[in-house]
Chains A and B, each alone.
Chain A
Amino acid sequence: AQTVTQSQPEMSVQEAETVTLSCTYDTSESDYYLFWYKQPPSRQMILVIRQEAYKQQNATENRFSVNFQKAAKSFSLKISDSQLGDAAMYFCASAYNNNDMRFGAGTRLTVKP
């Protein structure tokens, strides 16, 4: 079975510092997509960033960037200049085809003032 693994159930970071959330996945597919979603206390699922597997360049969205290591099947999320509003549950996800999106168990990020 295809799986997505987030090995850090909880992480914390000091405000204005940088934090990296880890994600690994398992697939035999060559064409797939990877995502990071943020879930704040409101429970709303918010897309943070996505990466197409065929693109070697790492995706970036403002303070959020990924380190995509295709051979290692690793997809970590780096949050720079952390803000209090970044505190949330973060989910890594992969989509191997049109109808098969898999999520990791999530990492709860705490931001300390």
Chain B
Amino acid sequence: EAQVTQNPRYLITVTGKKLTVTCSQNMNHEYMSWYRQDPGLGLRQIYYSMNVEVTDKGDVPEGYKVSRKEKRNFPLILESPSPNQTSLYFCASSLLGGWGSSEQYFGPGTRLTVT
């Protein structure tokens, strides 16, 4: 089954404790992206990757890191989480970065709480 998977689905952590949210897709997609969803703000892009070893900042990259060492994986790293990073996180992928020509597939979401 074609899908985007994220782990963990739920995470409660404390301020300053490094964490990684994994994202993997099995569709051989070139483009991957991370979003955060907050009430009243919709989804906002954190980082995106056009292909292996190519990443760039989205609208809200502060406090986050990413890497794209393999085509299928795009982990999101919070090196020193803070309470304002409490949010619902989505990973997404598409065949190409051209949105109109290829649908964007979303993962199931990761609910992160930082206390």
Interface residues of A, Cβ cutoff 8 Å to B: 4, 6, 33, 35, 42-45, 47, 50, 52, 91, 93, 95, 98-101, 103-106
Contact = CB atoms under 8 A, between A and B. Distances in A.
Contacts of B99: 33, 35, 95, 98, 101
A42 B92 CA distance: 16
Interface string B81-107: 000000010101000111110011010
Contact of A45 (B31, B48, B100, B106): B106
Contacts, number: 52
Contact of B106 (A44, A52, A95, A98): A44
A103 B100 contact: no
B2 interface: no
A21 B34 CA distance: 26
The 8 A-B pairs at the shortest CB distance, nearest first, are namely: A98-B97, A103-B42, A45-B106, A95-B99, A33-B100, A103-B43, A43-B109, A105-B42
A32 B98 CA distance: 10
Interface in B49-73: 50, 56, 58
Contacts of B44: 103
Given A93-B43, A99-B97, A100-B45, 10 more contacts: A43-B108, A43-B109, A45-B92, A45-B109, A91-B43, A98-B96, A98-B99, A101-B33, A103-B35, A105-B40
Contacts of A6: 42
Contact of A101 (B41, B96, B103, B104): B104
A105 B41 contact: yes
Contacts of A103: 35, 42-44
Contacts of A42: 108
B11 to A, nearest CB: 14
Contacts of B108: 42-44
A108 B41 CA distance: 13
A22 to B, nearest CB: 15
A33 B96 CA distance: 14
Nearest to B43: A103
